């Protein structure tokens, strides 16, 4: 994963609450190999009426094409733990999702793929949604997003901020704690031997 | 003074970094067909599974519930799990195994989940395992790879929340109604960032099956995990299970300390009075869209917040419902009893109590939560009650809750369902899902519309 500090791009509006991960990527697409790209599955059923793209759906508007930031309403990414929801956003070119709240598992998955889940207030979301489509800049170091003359601070777990900036990989980080893990394993075996099932 | 969650957290804490990230030990890692991304990452890095003995494979998301596997694609998913678990020496409850079932049903049932454990799975309903006093939570594919490689997970400690249910449940009211009641009150993100402990006399009175249902739905209110302190009910239920500890009494003595101290402080407390909890159904496209069956369908024109009004209007449009009509006038096209939420033997008994001697007016299927639940139900004759009523009795798996195995609800069809998510398209593209308890699903089957189960239970319970 590559770290980043600044992102500059087009923001598109998705002015809906409770966009769950089943809507971000319907389950029937999840057996596809990642190599083929998941971008085409993003919000697949929501943006279509039968097989045709719905012209009234914001992400189908010509002005929203090429967007890399998405502004939504509360509880974006609730529901299923499927990381494929993040793959769909990432492979469709998104690097930032901005909303008043996120599903916890979705947000963790997003950070693990370099996608920023930026939390703002409901009022700020109203303002940004009204401004979309618009070019926005996200500064991870300053935790600030800017569009035109409007600058809005966003909330983000400090651990996740460092992870996004440094592009940290958890498996690599954990390797440096191997001795502590080995010691803990022995303690756990003594404390709760039933954790290791018999054959 | 510590909460139950504090104790579970401390028991698994390996270290905390200066920035606040904590490395936790994982006691039990369940993998399923959807875990293939995690195995692929491991393979790409040339790594082995750190603790194959603590990892358990289960085929549930894609398995057929009747006949052969639906498509070659689905067959490949089931086979990939078998290949990955065999390659790493991981115990597998695969297709056709006598202990196969939905991971959140079969894990506790086998005694593979025990009080005091930290349990993870690449599935958001992993909080189910909290019903036994374990700390269970769902993780994504990157974290699955991390747990496979290290048997640990990096987490930030969630805030502590307690939901207390006072009073006692009335007839026809159960754990599903308790869960939907709090989610309707607090919202689908109401417990975001929190570890929820369920407490109070109505929780103590629940069977283990009821507690599993209650904890299962924690994620639908946004909670990171859901917990019930283990007690004699828990211990009695676990005794004799296949993977229960050899020295069971010693383990029980240890588990008895797994409770919140009397004066332990919670970051947030919520209380619900069971006198106010009636049989509940959902009307919209989020589990928070839940109301007592005696209510009417919400009217967006009476809602002042414009975002909320437009969301209700959109939900009613998707669901094909008219504002202001009584919920119990809504006709259904089919029913489904199954899923990690409500497919245990107690759930099937509750549905059978309603269906016995009655005919279903609409088609439907009953999918037991595991092969063992299926065998038990057949020994009790429940399968014959379902089939005599006109419902299909099928095999075990996630099935029509998530539609991955080909069991789907047709577009614009309305399904009364004992599952956990009424999301748009969850049960199939265009499917309209109403969530409710298994007894309420049975009632809908009998009348052909959403129905208050209570009159149908008179003289039966």
Residue B166 in 3-state DSSP?
A: strand
**Do the chains contact at B37 and A109, CB–CB below 8 Å?**
no
For B34, the closest of A30, A45, A180 (CB atoms) is A30
For B189, the closest of A75, A180, A193 (CB atoms) is A75
Closest chain B C-alpha to A138 CA, distance in angstroms: 23
**Do the chains contact at A20 and B28, CB–CB below 8 Å?**
no
Per-residue b or e along B402-429, where b marks 16 or more CB atoms closer than 10 Å to that residue's CB: bbbbbbbbeeebbbbbbbbbbbbbbbbb
CATH class of segment(s) B4-269:
alpha beta
Pairs from B427-432 (Cβ < 8 Å, separation ≥ 24): B427/B336, B427/B400, B427/B401, B427/B402, B427/B403, B428/B403, B429/A26, B429/A45, B430/A45, B431/B403, B432/B318, B432/B319, B432/B320
Read off the pLDDT of residues A102-113 as tens digits, 9 standing for 90 and up: 999 999 999 999
Partners of residue B183 in chain A, C-beta under 8 Å: none
ipTM of the complex: 0.96
At B191, list the tokens: 């417990």
CA B307 to CA A67: how far, in whole Å? 23
Partners of residue A105 in chain B, C-beta under 8 Å: 124, 137-140, 219
CA B36 to CA B77: how far, in whole Å? 8
Partners of residue B426 in chain A, C-beta under 8 Å: 22, 27
Bridge partner residues of A76 (DSSP): A102
Classify residue B70 by its DSSP letter.
Answer: S
Partners of residue A180 in chain B, C-beta under 8 Å: 14-15, 23
For B286, the closest of A18, A86, A171 (CB atoms) is A18
Whether the CB-CB separation of B74 and B404 falls below 8 Å is answered with yes
The pLDDT value recorded for residue B293 is 98
Read off the pLDDT of residues A137-191 as tens digits, 9 standing for 90 and up: 999 999 999 999 999 999 999 999 999 999 999 999 999 999 999 999 999 999 9
B424 touches chain A (CB under 8 A): yes
**Residue from A13, A176, A197, A198 to probe the interface with B (highest B Cβ count within 10 Å):** A197
**Please, which residues have CB within 8 angstroms of residue B285's CB and are 6 or more apart in sequence?**
A18, B314, B315, B318, B319, B422, B423, B424
Bridge partner residues of B225 (DSSP): B195
> Mean pLDDT in runs of 10 for chain B (461 residues)?
98 96 98 95 96 98 88 92 98 96 98 98 98 98 98 97 97 97 98 98 98 98 98 98 96 97 97 97 98 98 91 97 98 98 98 98 98 98 98 96 93 98 96 98 98 95 69
Domain boundaries, chain A: 6-168
Are B4-269 and B281-457 the same fold in CATH? yes
CA B224 to CA B211: how far, in whole Å? 16
A109 touches chain B (CB under 8 A): yes
Closest alpha carbon to A150 in A127, A121, A132, A133:
A127
A195 touches chain B (CB under 8 A): yes
Domain boundaries, chain B: 4-269, 281-457
Give me the percent of chain A exceeding a pLDDT of 70: 99
> What count of other Cβ atoms lies within 10 Å of the Cβ of residue B8?
25
Whether the CB-CB separation of B158 and B123 falls below 8 Å is answered with no
Closest chain A C-alpha to B368 CA, distance in angstroms: 21
**Do the chains contact at B421 and A192, CB–CB below 8 Å?**
no
Closest alpha carbon to A33 in A24, A21, A41:
A41
> What count of other Cβ atoms lies within 10 Å of the Cβ of residue B273?
13
A73 touches chain B (CB under 8 A): yes
pLDDT, averaged across chain B: 97
Distances (CA, A) of B212 to B6, B21, B232: 21, 29, 16
**Do the chains contact at B140 and A105, CB–CB below 8 Å?**
yes
Checking if the pLDDT of A199 tops 80, the result is: no
Closest chain B C-alpha to A23 CA, distance in angstroms: 7
Partners of residue B142 in chain A, C-beta under 8 Å: 83, 109, 112-113, 170
Q: Is A193 exposed, middle or buried (0-12, 13-18, 19+ CB in 10 A)?
A: middle
Instruction: Fold for A6-168, please state it.
Output: Aconitase; domain 4 (3.20.19)
A68 touches chain B (CB under 8 A): no
Closest alpha carbon to B280 in B360, B200, B220:
B220
Closest chain A C-alpha to B225 CA, distance in angstroms: 11
The pLDDT value recorded for residue A90 is 98
Read off the pLDDT of residues B231-273 as tens digits, 9 standing for 90 and up: 999 999 999 999 999 999 999 999 999 999 999 999 999 999 9
> In A, residues 116-155, which contact B (CB 8 Å cutoff)?
none
A174 touches chain B (CB under 8 A): yes
**Please, which residues have CB within 8 angstroms of residue B68's CB and are 6 or more apart in sequence?**
none
Residue A26 in 3-state DSSP?
A: coil
> In A, residues 75-104, which contact B (CB 8 Å cutoff)?
75, 78-84, 86, 101-104
Partners of residue A194 in chain B, C-beta under 8 Å: 114, 244-246, 251
> What count of other Cβ atoms lies within 10 Å of the Cβ of residue A8?
12
Closest chain B C-alpha to A133 CA, distance in angstroms: 19
CATH architecture of B281-457: 2-Layer Sandwich (3.30)
Partners of residue A46 in chain B, C-beta under 8 Å: 424
A23 touches chain B (CB under 8 A): yes
Whether the CB-CB separation of B195 and B160 falls below 8 Å is answered with yes
Read off the pLDDT of residues B282-307 as tens digits, 9 standing for 90 and up: 999 999 999 999 999 999 999 998 88
Partners of residue A102 in chain B, C-beta under 8 Å: 192
Read off the pLDDT of residues B102-130 as tens digits, 9 standing for 90 and up: 999 999 999 999 999 999 999 999 999 99
């Amino acid at each position: 994963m590559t770290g980043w500090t600044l992102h500059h791009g087009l923001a598109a509006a998705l002015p809906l609450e409770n966009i769950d991960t089943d809507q971000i990527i319907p389950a029937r697409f999840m057996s596809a190999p990642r190599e083929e790209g998941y971008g085409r599955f993003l919000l697949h059923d929501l943006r279509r009426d039968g097989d045709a793209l719905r012209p009234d759906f914001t992400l189908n508007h010509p002005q929203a094409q090429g967007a890399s930031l998405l502004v939504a309403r509360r509880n974006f990414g609730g529901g299923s733990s499927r990381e494929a929801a993040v793959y769909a956003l990432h492979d469709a070119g998104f690097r930032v999702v901005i909303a008043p709240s996120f599903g916890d598992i979705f947000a963790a998955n997003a950070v693990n793929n370099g996608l920023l889940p930026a939390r703002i207030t409901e009022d700020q979301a109203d303002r940004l949604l009204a401004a979309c489509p618009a070019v926005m800049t996200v500064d991870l170091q300053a935790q600030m997003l800017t569009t035109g003359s409007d600058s809005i601070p966003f909330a983000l777990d400090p651990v996740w901020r460092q992870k996004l900036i440094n592009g940290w990989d958890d498996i690599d980080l954990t390797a440096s704690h191997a001795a502590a893990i080995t010691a803990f394993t022995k303690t756990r075996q003594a404390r709760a031997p039933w954790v290791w099932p018999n054959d | 003074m510590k909460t139950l969650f504090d104790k579970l957290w401390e028991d698994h804490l390996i270290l905390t970094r200066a920035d606040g990230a904590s490395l936790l030990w994982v006691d039990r890692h369940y993998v399923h067909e959807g875990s293939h991304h995690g195995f692929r990452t491991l393979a790409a890095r040339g790594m082995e599974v750190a603790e194959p003995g603590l990892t358990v494979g289960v085929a549930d998301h894609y398995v057929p519930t009747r006949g052969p596997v639906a498509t070659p694609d689905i067959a490949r998913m089931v086979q990939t799990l078998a290949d990955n678990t065999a390659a790493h020496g991981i115990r597998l409850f695969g297709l056709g195994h006598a202990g196969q079932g939905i991971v959140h049903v079969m894990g506790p049932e086998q005694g593979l989940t025990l009080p005091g454990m930290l349990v993870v799975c690449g599935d958001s309903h992993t909080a189910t395992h909290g019903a036994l006093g374990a700390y269970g939570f769902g993780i994504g594919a990157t974290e699955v790879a991390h747990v496979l490689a290290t048997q640990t997970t990096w987490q930030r400690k969630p805030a502590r929340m307690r939901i207390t249910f006072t009073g006692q449940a009335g007839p026809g009211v159960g754990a599903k109604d308790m869960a939907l009641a709090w989610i309707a009150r607090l919202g689908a993100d109401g417990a975001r960032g929190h570890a929820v402990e369920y407490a109070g006399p109505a929780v103590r009175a629940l069977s283990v099956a009821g507690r599993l249902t209650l904890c299962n739905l924690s994620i639908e209110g946004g909670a990171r995990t859901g917990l019930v302190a283990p007690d004699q009910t828990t211990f009695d239920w676990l005794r004799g299970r296949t993977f229960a500890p050899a020295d069971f009494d010693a383990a029980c003595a240890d588990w008895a300390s797994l409770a919140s101290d009397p004066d332990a402080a919670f970051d947030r407390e919520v209380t619900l009075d069971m006198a106010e909890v009636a049989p509940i159904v959902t009307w919209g496209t989020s589990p928070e869209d839940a109301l007592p069956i005696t209510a009417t369908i919400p009217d967006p024109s009476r809602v002042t917040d414009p975002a909320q009004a437009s969301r209700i209007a959109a939900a009613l449009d998707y669901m094909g419902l008219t504002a202001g009509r009584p919920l119990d006038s809504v006709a259904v096209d089919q029913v489904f009893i199954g899923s990690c939420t409500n497919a245990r033997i107690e759930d099937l008994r509750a549905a059978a109590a309603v269906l016995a001697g009655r005919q279903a007016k609409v088609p439907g299927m009953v999918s037991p939560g595991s092969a063992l639940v299926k065998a038990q139900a057949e020994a009790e004759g429940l399968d014959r009650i379902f089939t005599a009523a006109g419902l299909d009795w099928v095999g075990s798996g996630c099935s029509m809750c998530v539609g991955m195995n080909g069991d789907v609800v047709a577009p614009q069809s309305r399904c009364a369902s004992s599952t956990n998510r009424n999301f748009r398209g969850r049960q199939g593209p265009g499917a309209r899902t109403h969530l409710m308890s298994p007894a309420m699903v049975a009632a809908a089957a009998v009348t052909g519309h959403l129905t208050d189960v209570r009159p149908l239970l008179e003289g039966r319970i």
